Amino acid sequence: MKRFILKEYGSWGVMLMSFAAGLVAAGRFNATVGAALFSLALFINAKQALTVWMRSPAGDRWIPRTVFLGQMVLAIIMMTKVVENNIPQILPYVGIPLVYLLCLTLLGEHALLTEVSGFVLLSLSSLIGRFASSGVIDPRLFLAVAVFFTAGVFKVRIQFRKELRYRVMMIAYAAGSVVLYITFGLPLLLLVPLIDNVLFALILYRTGLSTTGWLEVGKGVVFLVLLSFIYV
pLDDT one-digit tens code per residue, 151-168 = 999 999 999 888 999 999
Predicted TM-score (pTM) of the model is 0.93
- Cβ–Cβ < 8 Å for 124, 95: no
For the chain, the average pLDDT equals 93
pLDDT per position as a tens digit, 4-15: 899 888 899 999
CA 70/CA 77 separation, integer angstroms: 11
pLDDT per residue as tens digits for the range 15-56? 999 999 999 999 888 889 999 999 999 999 999 998 898 888
Q: How many CB atoms lie within 10 A of CB 63?
A: 15
Name the DSSP class of 138: -
CA atoms within 13 A on the CB side of 92: 5
Tell me: pLDDT of 136 over 80: yes
Half-sphere exposure for 155 (CA within 13 Å, toward CB): 28
Backbone angles phi, psi at 204, to 5 degrees: 50, 55
CA distance 104 to 9: 19
Contact residues for 223 (Cβ-Cβ < 8 A; gap 6+): 17, 21, 148, 190, 193
Mean pLDDT of 49-66: 87
pLDDT tens track for 73-108? 999 999 999 988 888 888 899 999 999 999 998 998
Question: How many Å apart are CA 172 and CA 174, to the nearest integer?
Answer: 5
> Where is 103: in which H helix or E strand?
helix 95-107
Closest among 11, 8, 9, 7 to 150, alpha carbons compared:
11
- Residue-level pLDDT at 87: 85
- Domain containing 99: what range? 2-230
- Structurally, how many domains does the chain consist of? 1
pLDDT band, residue 232 (cuts 50/70/90): low
What backbone phi and psi angles, to 5 degrees, belong to 185? 70, 30
How many whole angstroms separate alpha carbon 150 and alpha carbon 206? 21
CB neighbours of 65 closer than 8 A, spacing ≥ 6? 49, 53
Cβ neighbours for 126, distance < 8 A, ≥ 6 positions apart = 18, 19, 21, 22, 25, 138, 141, 142, 145, 146
| Cα–Cα distance for residue pair 21/175, rounded to 1 Å | 23
Confidence bin at 141 (pLDDT 50/70/90)? very high
In the chain, the percentage of residues whose pLDDT exceeds 90 is: 73
- Percent over 70 (pLDDT), the chain: 99
Task: Mean pLDDT check: name the lowest of 87-96, 182-191, 219-228.
Answer: 87-96
